[in-house]
Amino acid sequence: MDDRMECNQQDRMTEWMSLALDHLLGETEERQLQHHLDACPQCQEEWALMQEASTLFEQSMMVGPPLGFAIRVERRLEAKTRQRRRLFGGIAVLTGSLSLAGVALAALALMVLGGVLWSKSGAFAEIQQSTRVVSTLASGMGLVGKGASLFLKDILLSYGGPVLLLSGIGLIALVGIWIWVYSRQPGNSHKNGVL
Amino acid sequence: MEQEREWLQQALRGDTEAFGLLVQAYERPVYNLAYRMLGNAAEAEDAAQETFLRAYTKLATYQPERKFVNWLLSIASHYCIDRLRKSQRAPQVSLEDPLPPQWLTSDAPRPDQEVSKKQSRDLVRKMLDRLPDVYRAAVVLRYWYGLSYSEIAETMGTTESAIKSRLHRARRMLAQDLQSARA
């Protein structure tokens, strides 16, 4: 093998040999290769070895898996599907709870804001004068509004913009998570596939 | 082909039984690729199973103009190469290990004439194990599946010229391997 280095065309020739084994060598190159092989014992030897290895591989049979392979794959697939369902179920419960909490908070915030605005508008005082029942109710609402506004006043009045922005982003994120959960749920994941 | 298309559509709708039929149809080529790449039955079984699981979860990305078996082989070859790289496994066969000697003398009969099938199988496995991963994959796809250079390139996600070069170098290494074993 050492004296093979003496052949200064070895790289090109072995490339041609490889192509010849795949029947991809052009006629001209094939003739040149044959001509070179006739004169170069080193390349002749390499060509014989490459052919030998090629024959060995061509004759090697394809091996199959042990019996029951498809069943084992199906079992593993079912286990994986169950695992994913549990995971997605957990995410669904979590995001669902967060969504409900978000909706409840938003409703409370709207009620508080409405109460505060109403009490400031003066309509509150007029109603108080007109009927005692309504007056009592309105007073009650006003008290609730005032009490709650002490708690949320700074957030809603001072940071109203950022709070609304963050709430919006939060709701969009929750909707996004819901869509993702639904699309990734086993059985739904391939519905949009086109064949 | 029509049957395969039907199974694919059913599997896309989440029908695991239809997917099971696809597994039965293609278990042999996928397992063989994993076995040739990884060199032992247990790892080949696991890799072939993983290939089908990945195929199921990625089924919506399958392009129908491509042969389904080639798509599976692409997943399998990438998975096996990744697995070999992650484990950074040294070749199972040391480069110093001698190859089976029976037919390696110059006057010995050719393997297809005299040497037992088991010896040939061992020899093929050892020769493959000595090749770098990407060369091995190209050789396996060429010899066991008869894929063209362009199909191998598509399967391995590379160019035809890269495959031409890999096959050329792989064959040169195989020839040198036989040569050194004789020496």
Q: What residues contact A79, with CB distance under 8 A and at least 6 apart?
A: none
Whether A77 sits inside 8 A of B56 (CB atoms) is yes
Top-confidence residue, A159 or A44? A44
Give the whole-angstrom CA distance, residue B132 versus residue B151: 20
Task: Classify the complex by whether its ipTM is higher than 0.85, answering yes or no.
Answer: no
Domain boundary assignment for chain A: 10-59, 85-183
* Contact yes or no for B173/B135 (Cβ under 8 A): yes
The amino acid sitting at B165 is: S
Best residue in A11, A73, A77 to probe B by mutation, most B CBs within 10 Å? Answer: A73
Top-confidence residue, B90 or B138? B138
* Contact yes or no for A192/B19 (Cβ under 8 A): no
A192 has pLDDT over 60: no
pLDDT at B128: 93
For the segment A116-135, what is each residue's pLDDT rounded down to a tens digit?
A: 777 777 666 666 566 666 66
Best residue in B171, B173, B174, B176 to probe A by mutation, most A CBs within 10 Å? Answer: B171
The mean pLDDT of chain B is 86
Give the whole-angstrom CA distance, residue B157 versus residue B166: 13
Q: What residues contact A13, with CB distance under 8 A and at least 6 apart?
A: A7, A33, A36, A37, A40, A43, A46
**Closest A-chain CA to B177:** A49
Give Rg (Cα) of chain A. 40
State the pLDDT confidence band at B91, using cuts at 50, 70 and 90. Answer: very low
pLDDT at A5: 47
B41 has pLDDT over 80: yes
For the segment A172-183, what is each residue's pLDDT rounded down to a tens digit?
A: 888 888 777 766
For the segment B101-131, what is each residue's pLDDT rounded down to a tens digit?
A: 444 444 455 544 555 678 888 889 989 999 9
**Which of B133, B160, B1, B131 is closest to A22 using CA atoms?**
B160
